[in-house]
Structure 1
Amino acid sequence: MTHRPTRIGVQLAPQHTTMQATIDAARRLEEMGVDAVFGWDHFFPLSGDADGAHFEATAQLAAWAVATERVQIGPLVFCNSYRNPDLLADVARTIDHISRGRFVFGIGSGWFERDYLEYGYDFGSVGSRLDALAAALPRIRARWERLNPPPVGAMPILIGGKGERKTLPLVARHADIWHSFVGPDELPHKLDVLREQCDALGRDVDEIEVSNGASVRDGVGGVGFERLDALHAAGTRMLTIPLSGDDTPDGYALDRVPAFLEWRDRKNA
């Protein structure tokens, strides 16, 4: 496996908080030394009060792009269903310029039914949503080539999911980063499938950064980093910590982050 540094991302769920709090948290995380700050692409909270405060992804990411200077930013992940693919390509290109080339284009097929029903999108099926994503990705990449100006550089594409029949072939064809919540026992098999897909395309699987979600239990309450150690040993190189605006009475639990950064630095030593 090609040497690749271990990285730590933080996903700031834009729920149960204010927009300014998300901006302040993104700026503070950059100061702390995280490698990437991610949002998500939903229209309602996913936990806590289902009708609580919540904000839209693309405008929030643009605000983070202005407020930060070094950290990568992006969605974890855009829902392909919510926007015309060419428009989404243009939105991403624009935020990439606002951030001066720090944007990570995360995308997936979508899954949260309430978003679809309340905003008037066709929910379809898992298969139809994945087929739509497969059709959209070439359009997105082609639009980037036609836009004037184009993205600042080679904007990394992050694809989320773990399905072997449809998702992993899309990862092999399009992604620079593969993100999932696959556990350490299952990850070697998934990577074998991804390697087979890459081989069929003549692509080196090591070109793809393996990314995974950290658990809220990792490194908290006396629990160590054994699960992350196992994911790392299997090839994972980016771990993303989930934080929500109502983690504590004061908002995002940023005090959880330094332990993960110390773990990262030990891996990179």
Structure 2
Amino acid sequence: MSPATQAVYRDEGIEHVSRPIRIGVQIQPQHADYEQIRRAVAEAEEAGVDIVFNWDHFFPLSGDADGKHFECWTMLGAWAEATSRVEIGALVSCNSYRNPDLLADMARTVDHISNGRLILGIGAGWFQRDYDEYGYEFGTPGSRLADLAQALPRIRERWTKLNPRPQRDIPILIGGGGEKKTLRMVAEHASTWHSFSDAQTLERKSHILADHCADVGRDPAEIERSTGVPALSTSSPEDMAAGLLAAGATLFTIGVSGPNYDLGAVREWVAWRDQRNAPA
């Protein structure tokens, strides 16, 4: 975003740099054949979304717990070839499932396949069935967060050692809202923070994030605020987003599940984005 398109405002002591609104869609890789998933990704790109996400689980999170499901990172490699414009990534990749240096290499490879369109979404992990059935140690929330804190600098350091290096400074999206640990990692490493918060909580935690940014010498305006929004709602995007926009969110992601990926709400959000981003 060029300086000419930036607007700066202050809210209770926090300086914000306005960003263009972006729309993501999470194509949840559950209850569908891969052909249906691939078609949904193509339709999402055609609809004009900015980012297409999947998720990093081994079993469905809703519906039939033993229903159809596909793996995250092999799918991202396929999406990198099948798309040409949208950014792609996981919302979010689980740190526990891969050695951090290997994950860095995987991300670098998908970055090259996609010609620089990968976002590395990452989190500490939470879904115990994934851990138990695939043989990973579940640990505690504290131990998983500690592992993520150790992994993030390893990932970034590995990117500097790979040949070839990533095509761009791969954006890191961190998901979660823990105020002492997760938001500290966001301040240190992330270009996007994905919050699972309502508007009031997002505003409060943004102030906490700003404090962490001050501690590490970073401008909090550098960090994009991201949130999920429901696919099914009687409210318009304008109504649903109003409070979240005021709290600083500019990336809105709609989750859709298989087998029939209904992108009707996604198109409504894209149309709303275009209205809001249009020059005055």
Answer yes or no: same fold by TM over 0.5.
yes
Q: Partner residue of 1:256?
A: 265
Equivalent in the alignment of 2:89: 74
> How far, CA to CA, are the matches of 2:196 and 2:240 in structure 1?
12
Which 5+ residue runs of structure 2 have no aligned equivalent? 1-15
CA RMSD of aligned residues (A): 0.9
CA distance in 2 between counterparts of 1:255 and 1:241 reads: 10
For structure 1, the residue ranges without an aligned partner over 5 or more in a row are: none
Q: Residue 102 of structure 1 corresponds to which residue in structure 2?
A: 117
Displacement of 1:216 after TM fit?
A: 3.2
Match of 1:161 among 165, 176, 191: 176
Percent identity of paired positions between Structure 1 and Structure 2: 56
Deviations 1:94-117 (A, max 9, x none): 000000000000000000000000
**What is the deviation of 1:267?**
1.7
Contact 1:179 1:210 in 2 (8 A): yes
Give the deviation of 1:264 after TM superposition. Answer: 1.0
Aligned residues: 262
Structure 2: how far apart are the matches of 1:65 and 1:216?
25
Within a 5 Å distance, the mapping from 1:5-24 to structure 2 comes to 5-24=20-39
CA distance in 1: counterparts of 2:190 and 2:24, whole angstroms: 18
Q: How far does residue 38 in structure 1 lie from its aligned partner after superposition?
A: 0.1
Q: Does 1:113 align with 2:128?
A: yes
After superposition, where does 1:211-226 map in structure 2 within 5 Å?
211-217=226-232, 220=233, 222-225=234-237, 226=239
1:244 aligns with 2:253: no
Of residues 72, 75, 82, the one that matches 1:57 is 72
Distance 1:42 1:70 in 2: 25
Cross-structure match for 1:85: 100
**Cα deviation digits, residues 106-144 of structure 1 (max 9, x gap):** 000000000000000000000000000000001000000
Higher strand share: 2
Deviations 1:183-217 (A, max 9, x none): 00111110000000001111000100000011234
The aligned counterpart of 1:200 is 215
Quote the residue 2:193 is aligned against: 178
Amino acid in the other structure paired with 2:170: M
SS of alignment partner, residue 88 of structure 2: strand
TM-score (norm. length: structure 1)? 0.96
Aligned to 1:233: 246
CA distance in 2, matches of 1:56, 1:114: 15
Match of 2:50 in 1: 35
Task: State whether residues 195 and 202 of structure 2, in contact with CA within 8 Å, keep that contact through their aligned partners in structure 1.
Answer: no
TM-score of the pair, normalised by structure 2:
0.92
User: C-alpha deviations, 1:57-83, integer Å up to 9, x for none?
Assistant: 001111111000000000000000000
Partners of 1:98 and 1:28 in 2: CA distance: 20
